[in-house]
Amino acid sequence: MADTFGQNFMIDQSDQRDRINAFNKEKLVEAKKRFRKDMMRARDGLTSKDVDTFGDQILEKLKSSPAYVRAGEILLYASYRNEVPTERIFAYSVSVGKRVYYPKVENNDLVFTRVRDLRELEIGFKGIPEPPSAGSPAEIRNTRAVIICPGLGFGMDGSRIGYGRGYYDRFLSANPDIYKIGVCFEIQFSDTVPHGEEDLPMDEVITEKHSYRMVKPMKDLR
């Protein structure tokens, strides 16, 4: 009888934990949805002049990042809508001898391919420019590579929230030692953003106003 009671008690506890985890996950999903909507509205409110000016200021701060300066490989992204523009980052990186790679979505994952000229890019997934399928995949040497990540929001703790498809999180999970720099406008930066265990933190975040280097690990926001 005691054994039966003990087993039932353990099952009840396990079931309760599952319910709590499911509830927390549901709350996190809703928090992310609200946050994404708010950030997209704020970012889309920037003028094209703001975006260009802030983009130039972000590039100047990026030039001073020790990780960027020593990097031989830069994993970049093609800017879309009102994201931080990357065309000048590409031009400067190539001018100082860095190898630059852009992502392409293949089989639901990001594959980075070297790009030597922006005219190589084609309109791809969701209308975002990407390299053609044939190319030189990134040879990531983690001690010398930097990935510059887009996002809808970043936190002082290194937290990042993207568009919800998980492409960058999967790529970063497979390449955990690569140095991660998030770029965003100051209006997209806060103490933290809604995130869970699968959302990997940045090592550095650069806005038009500041460069933030992370000194402590990110905690889950439940």
CB atoms within 10 A of CB 167: 16
CB atoms within 10 A of CB 180: 24
Per mean pLDDT, which range of 23-27, 68-72, 193-197, 216-220 is the poorest?
216-220
| Domain presence at residue 23 | yes
Q: Is the pLDDT of residue 90 over 60?
A: yes
17-57 per-position pLDDT tens digit: 443 344 466 787 888 888 888 888 999 999 999 999 999 99
How many separate domains does the chain show? 1
| Domain presence at residue 74 | yes
| Domain presence at residue 19 | yes
With contact defined as beta carbons under 8 Å apart, do 117 and 184 qualify? no
Q: Is the pLDDT of residue 12 over 60?
A: no
| Domain presence at residue 176 | yes
| Domain presence at residue 219 | no
Query: 34 lies in which domain range?
Result: 3-213
Nearest Cα residue to 219 out of 191, 195, 189, 190: 195
CATH of the domain at 94: 3.40.50.10420
With contact defined as beta carbons under 8 Å apart, do 49 and 115 qualify? no
| Domain presence at residue 131 | yes
| Domain presence at residue 196 | yes
| Domain presence at residue 129 | yes
